[in-house]
């Protein structure tokens, strides 16, 4: 079993490991923010601070043979599914150690062994791709499922409606997860969308749907398990709306000054890491001393990851042409 699959197995079997992965994602994203600010990384990035429960909850329920199509805000999902921090950070930094050899960047993370299709920088671009993967499962008569994760803003584009319509008609084994973090880029949802509960849109396609608290990992796991079981047994697609909140701005340059006063602080009281700590302390799985050690150890681990990636070489100019086509002779 590869190291990545072992990482995935850990979050499927152990609640403390799930908490540790959430801490890993949080520390990773905070380090990313600092690296961009220092100029160590070129371009832009989109952080998932505050949305760790959805990523880890999803990874803990799915099999590696299932397929996930995520968005450009996908660092957390990639780490949750089992990609190593070196593979993710290396890709973001444009280094050969990255999961795509450093030529994809922050918004294009992938590892097919773990079921992660290349994350998409196109709003809603992953939905029809997930439906295609689900169709392949249906044709091959496997019980694997496809999952499309997308933001609230994507529910206003054509790909959302076209894909849900087709998935319903063909009864595809696909789960649509709307990560409703309140903002589509810089616009609050009430300024762009005429309804608050986006999952209700599935009524138009006679598709099962519901909302869940995306800040609480146990709730995430329960809801996604229900949808996965339905899809695996031939029950077709489901639309899930996970109510979350991004603690950072849309991208690294966005200070989110448009947020109403007190909104961020209100959501931070329901920080998914805080809620998970409270739950694990109540169950006896963790205490304050263990939590402090996990946080300290993870900080040191991610700092080592940063040093490793900084020392890794950059890809050559020719690297961008690799994996694009197969020579005719090799195809014979």
pLDDT over 90, % of the chain: 77
How do residues 81-106 score in pLDDT, each as one tens digit? 999 999 999 999 999 999 999 888 88
How do residues 134-158 score in pLDDT, each as one tens digit? 999 999 999 999 999 999 999 999 9
Which pLDDT band, with edges at 50, 70 and 90, does 330 fall under? low
| CATH class, 3-331 region | alpha beta
How do residues 240-295 score in pLDDT, each as one tens digit? 999 999 998 888 777 888 989 999 999 999 999 999 999 999 999 999 999 999 99
Which pLDDT band, with edges at 50, 70 and 90, does 331 fall under? low
Q: How much is the pLDDT for 329?
A: 67
Q: How many other C-beta atoms are found inside a 10 Å radius of the C-beta of residue 131? A: 25
How do residues 205-247 score in pLDDT, each as one tens digit? 999 999 999 999 999 999 999 999 999 999 999 999 999 999 9
Structural contact between residues 117 and 150, judged by C-beta atoms closer than 8 angstroms: no
What's the predicted TM-score (pTM) here? 0.94
More confident call, 58 vs 316: 58
Length of the chain, please? Answer: 332
How do residues 10-31 score in pLDDT, each as one tens digit? 999 899 999 999 999 999 999 9
d(CA 110, CA 67): 11
Residues in Cβ contact with 300 at an 8 Å cutoff, skipping those fewer than 6 apart:
none
Which pLDDT band, with edges at 50, 70 and 90, does 187 fall under? confident
Q: How many other C-beta atoms are found inside a 10 Å radius of the C-beta of residue 157? A: 15
More confident call, 330 vs 158: 158
d(CA 12, CA 189): 33
Structural contact between residues 222 and 53, judged by C-beta atoms closer than 8 angstroms: no
Nearest to 319 by CA among 118, 111, 117, 105: 105
């Amino acid at each position: 079993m590869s190291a990545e699959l072992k990482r995935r197995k850990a979050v499927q079997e152990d609640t403390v490991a799930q908490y540790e992965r959430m801490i890993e994602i949080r520390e990773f994203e905070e380090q990313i923010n600092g690296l961009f600010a220092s100029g160590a990384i070129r371009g832009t990035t989109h952080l998932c601070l505050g949305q760790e429960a959805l990523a880890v909850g999803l990874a803990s329920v799915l099999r590696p043979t299932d397929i996930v199509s995520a968005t450009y805000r996908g660092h957390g999902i990639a780490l949750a599914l089992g990609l190593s921090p070196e593979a993710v950070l290396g890709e973001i930094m444009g280094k050969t150690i990255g999961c795509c050899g450093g030529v994809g960047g922050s918004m294009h993370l992938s590892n097919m062994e773990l079921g992660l299709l290349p994350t998409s920088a196109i709003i809603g671009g992953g939905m029809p791709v997930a439906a295609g993967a689900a169709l392949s499962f249906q044709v091959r008569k496997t019980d694997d499922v496809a999952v499309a994760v997308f933001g609230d803003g994507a529910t206003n584009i054509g790909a959302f409606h076209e894909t849900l319509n087709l998935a319903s008609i063909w009864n595809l084994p696909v789960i649509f997860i709307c990560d409703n973090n309140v903002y589509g880029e810089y616009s609050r949802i009430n300024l762009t969308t005429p309804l608050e509960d986006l999952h209700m849109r599935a009524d138009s396609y006679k598709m099962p749907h519901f909302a869940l608290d995306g800040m609480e990992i146990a709730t995430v796991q329960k809801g996604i398990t229900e949808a996965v079981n339905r899809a695996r047994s031939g029950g077709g697609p489901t639309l899930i709306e996970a109510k979350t909140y991004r603690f950072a701005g849309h991208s690294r340059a966005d200070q989110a000054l448009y947020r109403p006063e007190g909104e961020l602080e209100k959501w931070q009281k329901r920080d998914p890491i805080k809620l998970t700590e409270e739950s694990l302390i109540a169950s006896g799985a963790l205490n304050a001393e263990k939590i402090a050690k996990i946080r300290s150890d993870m900080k040191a681990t991610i700092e080592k990851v940063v040093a490793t990636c900084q020392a890794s070489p950059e890809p050559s100019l020719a690297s961008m042409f690799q994996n694009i086509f197969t020579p005719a002779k090799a195809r014979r």
